[in-house]
Amino acid sequence: MKHYFGGRTGRILGAMALLLGTGASVFADAQDFKIVNKTGFTITSLYASPVKAKNWGNDILGEGEMATGRTLDIKFSGYGDKVCHFDVMLKDEDEKEWIVEDIDLCEIHSLTFSKKGGSVQFEAN
């Protein structure tokens, strides 16, 4: 399944922590997911928020960056099993925003971003 998306602002980030690596936890929250960067550019900021939120909140990457070719596991906490639909925004080196809306993170646990022409593609694995 592929989705195409562009930039916009908004949404709030809940309490999230970033885990590096690819190991899975037996006690993982329902919304935990893996992000794979195949865009050809470095992701300088990454945000996720519940669909109805009004602000993005804090950058999940913090002071870090995610070079193309890298994979990161994103660990959620504080949402329980009932909040599943999230919007995800990434920014590139030029501060361009790329957003995919309404991802069911209780069902989709691997997000691959790639760039084709002037668009960024999102693929759920």
Percent pLDDT > 90 in the chain is: 30
* pLDDT averaged over every residue in the chain: 76
φ, ψ for residue 86 (rounded to 5)? Answer: -130, 150
Q: How many domains does the chain have?
A: 1
- Per-residue pLDDT tens over the stretch 59-115: 989 889 999 999 999 887 777 788 889 888 889 999 999 887 888 988 988 999 898
Predicted confidence at residue 3, as pLDDT, reads 43
Confidence of residue 1 (pLDDT cuts 50, 70, 90): very low
Q: What is the CATH number of the domain that holds 46?
A: 2.60.40.2890
| Residue span of the structural domain in which 120 resides | 2-124
Task: Count CA atoms within 13 Å of residue 49 on its CB side.
Answer: 18
Edge-to-edge strand list for the sheet holding 45-50: 45-50, 85-91, 97-104
